[in-house]
A and B are shown apart, each in its own frame.
Chain A
Amino acid sequence: MLDTLKLDEVVEFAENPEPRCPCVLLLDTSGSMQGEAINALNQGLQSFRNELIDNSLASRRVEVAIITFDSHVNVVQDFVTADQFHPPMLTAQGLTTMGAGIHKALDLIQERKAQYRSNGVAYYRPWIFMITDGEPQGEFDDVVTQASKRLQQDEASKRVAFFTVGVENANMNLLSQIAVRTPLHLKGLNFVEMFMWLSASMAAVSHSKVDEQVALPPIGWGNV
Chain B
Amino acid sequence: MDTLSQISHWRVVAASVCGVSHIKTNQLCQDAHHWELLPDNILVAAVADGAGSASLGKVGAMVAVETAIEEISFHNLTQEVLQDDALIQEILTTVLVSAKKTVESEADACNVQARDFATTLILVIASPQAIAVAQIGDGVAVAKDTNGNLVALTLPDNGEYINQTIFLTSPEAIDKMQFKLWRLSVANVGILTDGLQMLALNMAVGAPHKPFFFPLFDFVTKAPDRNEAKEELVKFLSSEKITQRTDDDLTLILAAFHHHY
Contact = CB atoms under 8 A, between A and B. Distances in A.
A210 B164 contact: yes
A13 B197 CA distance: 10
B212 A11 contact: yes
Contact of B222 (A4, A158, A211, A214): A4
Given A14-B209, A16-B203, A4 B223 contact: yes
A169 to B, nearest CB: 36
B40 interface: no
Interface in A39-55: none
B194 A14 contact: no
A57 B241 CA distance: 13
Contact of B53 (A19, A57, A209): A209
B211 A11 contact: yes
Interface in A1-41: 2, 4-5, 7-8, 10-14, 16, 18-19
Contacts of A210: 51-53, 161, 163-164
Nearest to B198: A16
Given A16-B198, A16-B203, A210-B53, A124 B163 contact: yes
B215 A11 contact: yes
15 contacts: A4-B223, A7-B215, A8-B235, A11-B216, A14-B199, A120-B204, A122-B203, A124-B163, A125-B163, A125-B164, A207-B52, A207-B247, A210-B161, A210-B163, A214-B52
Nearest 7 pairs between A and B by C-beta?
A12-B211, A14-B209, A120-B204, A7-B236, A122-B162, A10-B215, A13-B199
Given A5-B219, A209-B51, 16 more contacts: A2-B222, A4-B219, A7-B219, A7-B235, A8-B239, A8-B242, A14-B198, A19-B162, A122-B158, A125-B163, A207-B52, A210-B52, A210-B161, A210-B163, A211-B118, A214-B53
